[in-house]
Amino acid sequence: LYQLGADEKFLLAKGGCYSPDALKDFEEEQKEIWGSAQDTVVSWKGMEYIGLEYEIEKNGIPVMGVGEPGADMKGEFNVDFPTYVRVLLQDGKINAFLINNGYETIEEKEADIISAEEALEIEIGNYSDIISDEVKTIQEIKLEYIAIPDWNSGSPSGKEWIPYWCFIRSDSEGDLYADRINGVTGGNLAYGE
């Protein structure tokens, strides 16, 4: 089981109270989308269900959570980056518990972080050769940790916490996208840097 480190804490990201009927309806919608790959619950016997979703903060910096635009990877495999904990309570008792990308910190290394301004210059440079009439607006710039795999292992599981500058941008239709610049090296996450 994942244990929070001394420099980590849970932050409640979402929570809600659900009836058994609402969860059954949601389950049916998921089956329509995912087919037989969707797990089904044999019985929703509880009277009340409470769903909680937690994200993690590390050294006062948020860890990439599930509610953010994902990473557009240009490599050989797509990586499941968000780190979060989901809990489903049934009548006050734990019914389900999920930890996604929770990794124990074994060793920490100090490193200088590039400034948000330096990261923004890199981000602008990434788009300097693209000819487009579309206006892209940066909605938010923030520093966050991401669980990064050993790119040479072929495994998508996170192995190292790395700080990235996250640029959440929107297009003319309001869709959100994110680019992430390595806070130490200035590399682009989309290319495994």
Q: Are residues 78 and 31 in the same domain?
A: yes
Determine the average pLDDT of the residues in 85-101.
Answer: 88
Domain presence at residue 107: no
Q: Are residues 66 and 15 in the same domain?
A: yes
Q: Are residues 127 and 183 in the same domain?
A: yes
Which residues constitute the domain of residue 12?
8-100
Q: pLDDT tens digits for 3-14?
A: 777 788 889 999
C-alpha dihedral over 23, 14, 88, 38, to 10 degrees? Answer: 50
How many structural domains is the chain composed of?
2
Asked which of 40, 65, 100 is the last residue of a domain, the reply is 100
Backbone torsion region of residue 185, taken as left when φ is above 0, otherwise alpha when ψ lies between -120 and 50, otherwise beta: alpha
Domain presence at residue 83: yes
Asked which of 75, 100, 125 is the last residue of a domain, the reply is 100
Q: Are residues 96 and 122 in the same domain?
A: no
Q: pLDDT tens digits for 43-71?
A: 778 888 999 999 989 889 999 888 887 76
Domain presence at residue 3: no
Contact 157, 136 (CB under 8 A): no
- pLDDT level of residue 137 (50, 70, 90 thresholds): confident
Domain presence at residue 22: yes
Q: pLDDT tens digits for 79-92?
A: 667 888 999 899 99
Determine the average pLDDT of the residues in 154-169.
Answer: 81
Bridge partners for 147 per DSSP: 161
The reported pLDDT for the residue numbered 175 is: 84
The reported pLDDT for the residue numbered 83 is: 86
